[in-house]
Chain A
Amino acid sequence: MTDITAERPRAEQRGKSAAVRGGRFRVGGLLRFVFIAIYTAFLLLPLYWMAVTSIKSQEDQLSDPPVWFPGDPTSINYAEALNRYNGWKGLENSLVVAFVTTILAVAFGTAAAYSMARFRTGGKHLAFWFLSQRMMPPIAIIIPVFLLYSRYSEEWFGFGLIDTRIGLILLYTVFALPFTVWMMYAYFRQMPPELEEAALVDGCSRVQALRKVAWPLAAPGIISAAAFAFILSWTEFLFAQVLARNEAVTAPVALAGMITFFQGNLYGQASALTMVTLIPAVILGALFQRHLVRGLTLGAVQG
């Protein structure tokens, strides 16, 4: 379908109609690159500023006029952010939470999507119910969830969920589910059912057909859904801020703490930790660029 990165197979086709395409953008020829350059500058400036701040010494950070190219780069901000200000703890919690969330959301989401796509379970209503979860503002359930986690979970289940990784994992799974369900729903509907039917004819049970035929075939879709679930929980802030105060602080919460509570004092450290949290984000971004569209639109636009 519409692969945004599939330039190579299209290249010849493009070449043929170069005159047409060229004509279309004749006015824009140079303008086009000027626009790209300006946008790139707008995009990179804050990123550059943060990268530079993360290696600036304290004096350079506070100097006026600001220092664009620090003369004496230092790694002290990184060391302090990680060791003194919850950096490692935040990263570890974020990693564990994002990882488990991804597994749960993908497993549950794929299963539900398969059932909805193949057996039409629940028809349009169930699919739309899952989609409607995507529309819900997190702020609408934050207070009740906070109360349930902090006051009632102990009473009802015997264990508190406030400030625990499990508490966050459960919530994030629910928030990732609309994404995984809809991405996989769109994927399974494209996949021909004949292969599984052949497996059934050959004597597989439904469950076997699912495990041995459908899941492996859906692997590419599953991987991009997983990348989405991971990023979703890696960047989530509101719930973590409210529910994880101490033991379960995630990286964004640790960052927000440095930026907002010590107004202006810990920018070097905050920038350093941000640079670290960018690593998985950039890797995933580079790897899953071509699946991005499907995730952003929940499968409505095929990328």
Chain B
Amino acid sequence: MASRAEPMTRRRPSAVSSWMDRHVRWLLVTPAALMVVALTIFPLCFAVWVAFVQYDFSLGDEHPWVGLDNFVENWKDPVWRASLWRTAWFSVTMVAIELGLGLLLALAMLRPFRGRRVLMTFFVVPLFISPVVVGGFFDLFVRRPYGVANQLASWVWPGDVTIDFSQDSPWVYIVLIMADVWQWTPFMFVILLAGLAAIPDTLYEAADLDGAKPRQAFSFVTLPLLMPIILIAVTFRLIDAAKLFDIIFSLTRGGPGTDTYTTSYYLYQQGFEFFHLGQGTAGAWMFLIMLTFISFWLVRRLLKPVEEA
């Protein structure tokens, strides 16, 4: 590696540049590392203090120590507990649907056909749109009476459909999930398509010679070879889905009532609607710890077969 070049004698123009040369590896890492420390590690440490005091703007510079009260208050709130479960089942449902659709789409788009390139460009567009905007579209799409969702539904369903998609119980969840699926199916699709394209044709020829049926070729050639990539995609998507906030903000604002509060939305409300800064920070810390455990578990568990391969 690079150290092989070290013993070479070479002319050094000045003391500064030779110092830079000797320490270049640390100089290069420093700006990035410093920024992360300053803007995530430091705020997190600061947050520990905020979580243990009563941080109230009306108290001015006084921040009375309250110990674990903020954490206890948070756990007493049934909305908080419900939001955790909701975040979990939202994430799993959304990612499962996205994986299914993405895989089907990748299989369908694998072989070239006319217009494939144009379609590809359309398919990736959702990835470049702000999620808050996606939530806004779907709101526009389903809002009564101006939205078209009811009209579309009455075409396929007998009778005049008048569902309030932003209030009626199962529908509001379905719309939220559809919005997320709309935006993130391309994520799965793009990654899985790359995975599928990487499987050499010779393997299918061999399977064919051995008399494998298409279904068998899929389950004994495609799936095992695609599995590491599926796992990577699922891991990344799950970690992101757990942070769900933007589409809640623009589509339902947590409503009806608190029925669509995710953990991120709940904490946002605590912090910036009610200004319960101490409680919000305590909750954020607990959420961070839970997510860290889950993320590490996912990365270890799901990516293990990838690293071994």
Question: A residues bordering B, Cβ < 8 Å?
Answer: 1-7, 10-11, 13-14, 16-17, 19-21, 23-28, 32-33, 35-36, 39-40, 42-47, 49-50, 53, 61-66, 68, 107-109, 111-112, 114-116, 118-122, 126, 129-130, 132-148, 170-171, 173-174, 177, 181, 193, 196-197, 200-201, 203, 205-207, 210, 231, 234-238, 241-242, 251-252, 255-256, 259-260, 264, 267, 270-271, 274, 277-278, 281-282, 284-286, 289, 292-293, 296-298, 300-303
Taking a contact as CB atoms closer than 8 A, the residue among A13, A259, A298 that contacts B250 in the complex is A259
Q: DSSP class of A's interface residues: helix, strand, loop or mixed?
A: helix
In the complex the two chains form, is A207's CB within 8 Å of B120's CB? no
Place the interface of chain B in its size category: 35 or more
Inter-chain contacts of A119 with B (CB < 8 A): 2, 25
Contact call B124/A292, Cβ cutoff below 8 A: yes
Q: How many A-B residue pairs have CB under 8 A?
A: 346
Question: When the two chains form their complex, are residues A297 and B271 in contact, meaning their CB atoms are under 8 A apart?
Answer: no
The answer for the CA separation of A35 and B105 in the assembled complex, in Å, is: 8
Taking the closest CB of chain B, its distance from the CB of A301, in whole angstroms, is: 6
Q: Tell me whether A301 and B21 are in contact (CB under 8 A).
A: no
The B22-36 residues at the A interface (CB cut-off 8 A) are 24-26, 28-29, 31-33, 35-36
Q: Which residues of A contact B119 (CB under 8 A)?
A: 36, 40
> Could you tell me the distance between the alpha carbons of A174 and B151 in the complex, rounded to whole angstroms?
45
A91 to B18, CA, bound (A): 45
Chain B residue contacts of A20, Cβ below 8 A: 201, 204-205, 208
**Are B108 and A23 touching (Cβ within 8 A)?**
no
Per the bound structure, the CA–CA distance linking A35 and B200 in Å amounts to 25
Whether the Cβ atoms of B190 and A296 lie closer than 8 Å is yes
Q: Nearest residue in A to B49 (C-beta to C-beta)? A: A144
Residue of A nearest to B44 (CB): A141
Closest chain-A Cβ to B144's Cβ sits at a distance in Å of: 9
Q: Determine whether the beta carbon of A112 is less than 8 Å from that of B28.
A: yes
User: Could you say which residues of chain A place their CB within 8 Å of the CB of B218?
Assistant: 24
User: Once bound together, how far apart are the Cα atoms of A140 and B267, in whole Å?
Assistant: 9
CA distance A266 to B292 in the complex (A): 40
